[in-house]
């Protein structure tokens, strides 16, 4: 696709005229990636404190604070990219950042759980707008020779958010969990104001609107399935509520698939799944992030409820995992090892960590000997897998479909995360003793193994006359 740059009054490309200005643009726009990643970790750390503020809420009910965000993000990520192509990336980036800020304020002020969950879904809509558009903006304002470095720094911004998130979340929660959302406001408002003069960029092909009805059907189907999974233990296998949720999930997802097959601009282009390697990458991503979400929530709950760590201590205890994931991910880009092999190795490491925790973690605190080795293994495994799987999956697609393919794999990531939160809640139950978490550690092992198996298939390419389907 051809790109068109528009700058008010000039019509010239907006390449930064000085290293200082270029660095400022890079920092400001990468803030979108930073905030979206930071938010994931700080909210997980705040989970016990939020629960304490809503004493009548069950774990399954409270899990929607995490799941609503992931589901809305997954449903809106690809359509947001297409809206940006039509209406302009700078405009959509600023709209997304503004929406993220407004929703963060709403989350901070929510007096009851249902309203907090609703604002979290709105917040995800803002994140879905600002994350894909932020990278498009950077590639437009920097010369092509600098694109590789720009993409690397943009990716590191997310990694820094994940490394700072647990500790920062612990500090803020000590005062009040609502501060984790207030933190977003000054950053978002500064960025919205500062990027107003960046050049506007959009795709040369305008086309029509993406299928937002399809996105709603996808979100409804996943939400119903997550509700069934989170409440399975409480409701029981024969309960009416469980079967109503499962039925609603099937109906909504079947309607989504049928609509996507007919719509010229589907919310998620299922035609790309005809490429076997790409389909396996999506399956690997879903399975890996089911395990990831389970570990992230289960670890924080284990540290705070079984070992009775405070919020700051629990946040600090988790920091080694994302901290070591950063150099592991950067190293992955320098290795000549095939990306499929690195993805398999990363997922396998999560399987090993699950077994290690199952064997070594008990009611008595043993952080260095029990928890830390698994966190380090998970961190390295995450760096290897996350840095490899998107490239391994999209390598089998035509170049024109790399951006759409990347969006789909990231949507698969969020879908897996929503399912992982629900599964962790279902498996942990009361969560007051180490025995309550043993199923979660085994679940992490199982989903890591599944991700490794699916990652093996990412090298397969299906020869197709129309590899991408309909745009």
- What does 388-427 look like in DSSP terms, one character per residue? HHHHHHHTTS-GGGHHHHHHHHHHHHHHHHHHHHHHHHHH
CA 330 to chain centroid: 19
Most confident of 121-130, 229-238, 327-336: 121-130
Summarised one tens digit per residue, pLDDT across range 75-91 is: 888 888 778 877 888 89
Lowest-confidence range among 4-8, 237-241, 287-291, 358-362?
Answer: 4-8
Question: What pLDDT does 6 receive?
Answer: 46
Most confident of 162-176, 383-397, 445-459: 445-459
Cα separation, 46 vs 142, whole angstroms: 38
8 A C-beta contact, residue 105 and residue 17 = no
Question: What pLDDT does 35 receive?
Answer: 87
Cα separation, 318 vs 296, whole angstroms: 9
Question: What pLDDT does 330 receive?
Answer: 79
Cα separation, 154 vs 133, whole angstroms: 12
- For 166, counting Cβ atoms within 10 Å of its Cβ (0-12 exposed, 13-18 middle, 19+ buried), the class is buried
Cα separation, 48 vs 302, whole angstroms: 10
- Between 470 and 422, whose confidence is greater? 422
Strands 200-203 and 3-6: antiparallel
Question: What pLDDT does 322 receive?
Answer: 87
DSSP-assigned letters across all residues of 227-259? HHHHTHHHH-TT-HHHHHHHHHHHHHHHHHHHH
Q: Which of 371, 310, 365, 32 is nearest to 198 (CA)?
A: 32
Q: What average pLDDT does the chain have? A: 85
Question: What pLDDT does 107 receive?
Answer: 96
Question: What pLDDT does 442 receive?
Answer: 94
Is the pLDDT at 65 greater than 80, yes or no? yes
Residue ranges in 88-146 assigned as alpha helix (H): 89-109, 113-141
Share of the chain above pLDDT 70, in %: 89
DSSP-assigned letters across all residues of 258-304? HHHHH-SS-SS-GGGGGSHHHHHHHHHHHHHHHHHHHHHHHHHHIII
- Which tokens is 10 given? 């000039």
Cα separation, 143 vs 290, whole angstroms: 38
* Mean pLDDT value across residues 3-32: 57
Question: What pLDDT does 42 receive?
Answer: 87
Is the pLDDT at 121 greater than 50, yes or no? yes
Query: Which residues face 4 on adjacent strands?
Result: 202
- Residue 13 sits at φ, ψ, to 5 deg, of -70, 145
Question: What pLDDT does 5 receive?
Answer: 41
* Mean pLDDT value across residues 296-304: 93
Is the pLDDT at 308 greater than 90, yes or no? yes
Cα separation, 417 vs 288, whole angstroms: 9
- Between 107 and 432, whose confidence is greater? 107
* Mean pLDDT value across residues 326-347: 85
Cα separation, 153 vs 32, whole angstroms: 13
Question: What pLDDT does 10 receive?
Answer: 35
* Mean pLDDT value across residues 154-163: 74
Instruction: Report in angstroms the alpha-carbon separations of 93 from 40, 192, 272, 453.
Output: 19, 8, 26, 37
Is the pLDDT at 233 greater than 90, yes or no? no
Cα separation, 103 vs 385, whole angstroms: 31
Is the pLDDT at 440 greater than 50, yes or no? yes
Enter the DSSP assignment of 314.
H
8 A C-beta contact, residue 224 and residue 186 = no
Is the pLDDT at 9 greater than 50, yes or no? no
- Between 433 and 30, whose confidence is greater? 433
- Confidence class of residue 22 from pLDDT cuts 50, 70 and 90? low
Cα separation, 198 vs 88, whole angstroms: 11
Summarised one tens digit per residue, pLDDT across range 416-432 is: 999 999 999 888 877 88
- Confidence class of residue 381 from pLDDT cuts 50, 70 and 90? very high
Q: Which of 446, 411, 353, 391 is nearest to 76 (CA)?
A: 411
Question: What pLDDT does 188 receive?
Answer: 92
8 A C-beta contact, residue 40 and residue 165 = yes
- Confidence class of residue 462 from pLDDT cuts 50, 70 and 90? low
Is the pLDDT at 13 greater than 50, yes or no? no
Cα separation, 126 vs 135, whole angstroms: 15
* Mean pLDDT value across residues 240-259: 94
Q: Which of 246, 296, 250 is nearest to 413 (CA)?
A: 296
Most confident of 15-24, 33-42, 119-128: 119-128
Q: Which of 84, 109, 78, 95 is nearest to 32 (CA)?
A: 95
- Confidence class of residue 148 from pLDDT cuts 50, 70 and 90? low
Lowest-confidence range among 88-92, 150-154, 296-300, 455-459?
Answer: 150-154
- Which tokens is 158 given? 């997310």
CA 212 to chain centroid: 20
Cα separation, 338 vs 294, whole angstroms: 28
Question: What pLDDT does 201 receive?
Answer: 73
Question: What pLDDT does 287 receive?
Answer: 96
């Amino acid at each position: 696709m051809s790109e068109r740059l528009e700058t008010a009054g000039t019509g010239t490309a907006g390449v930064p005229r000085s290293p200082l200005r270029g660095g400022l643009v890079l920092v400001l726009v990468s803030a979108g990636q930073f905030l979206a990643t930071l938010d994931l970790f700080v909210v997980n750390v705040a989970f016990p404190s939020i629960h304490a503020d809503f004493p009548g809420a069950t774990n399954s009910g409270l899990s929607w604070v995490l799941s609503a965000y992931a589901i809305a993000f997954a449903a809106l990520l690809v359509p947001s990219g297409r809206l940006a192509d039509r209406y302009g990336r700078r405009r959509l980036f600023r709209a997304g950042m503004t929406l993220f800020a407004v929703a963060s304020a709403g989350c901070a002020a929510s007096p009851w759980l249902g309203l907090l969950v609703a604002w979290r879904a709105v917040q995800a809509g803002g994140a879905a707008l600002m994350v894909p558009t932020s990278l498009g903006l950077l590639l437009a304002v920097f010369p092509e020779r600098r694109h590789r470095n720009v993409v690397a720094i943009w990716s590191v911004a997310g990694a820094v958010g994940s490394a700072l998130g647990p500790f920062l979340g612990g500090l803020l929660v000590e005062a009040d969990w609502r501060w984790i959302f207030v933190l977003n406001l000054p950053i978002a408002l500064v960025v919205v104001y500062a990027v107003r003069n960046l050049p506007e960029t959009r795709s040369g092909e305008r086309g029509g609107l993406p299928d937002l009805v399809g996105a709603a059907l996808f979100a409804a189907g996943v939400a119903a399935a997550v509700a069934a999974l989170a409440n399975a233990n409480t409701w029981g296998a024969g309960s009416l509520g469980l079967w109503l949720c499962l039925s609603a999930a099937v109906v909504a997802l079947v309607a989504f698939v049928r609509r996507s097959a007919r719509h010229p601009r589907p919310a998620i282009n299922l035609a790309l799944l005809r490429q076997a390697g790409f389909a396996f990458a999506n399956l690997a991503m879903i399975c890996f992030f089911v395990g990831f979400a389970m570990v992230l929530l289960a670890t924080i709950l284990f540290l705070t409820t079984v070992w009775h760590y405070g919020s700051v201590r629990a946040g600090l205890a988790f920091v080694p995992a994302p901290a070591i994931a950063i150099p592991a991910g950067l190293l992955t880009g320098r290795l000549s090892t095939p990306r499929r092999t690195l993805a398999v190795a990363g997922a396998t490491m999560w399987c090993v960590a699950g077994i290690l925790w199952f064997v070594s973690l008990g009611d008595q605190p043993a952080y260095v000997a029990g928890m830390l080795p698994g966190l380090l293994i998970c961190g390295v495994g995450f760096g290897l897998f996350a840095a490899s799987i998107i490239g391994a999956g999209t390598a089998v697609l035509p170049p024109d479909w790399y951006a759409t393919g990347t969006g789909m794999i990231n949507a698969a990531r969020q879908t897996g995360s929503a399912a992982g939160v629900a599964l962790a809640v279902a498996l942990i139950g009361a969560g007051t003793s180490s025995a309550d978490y043993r199923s979660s550690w085994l679940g992490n092992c199982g989903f890591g193994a599944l991700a490794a198996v699916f990652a093996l298939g990412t090298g397969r390419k299906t020869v197709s006359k129309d590899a991408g389907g309909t745009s």
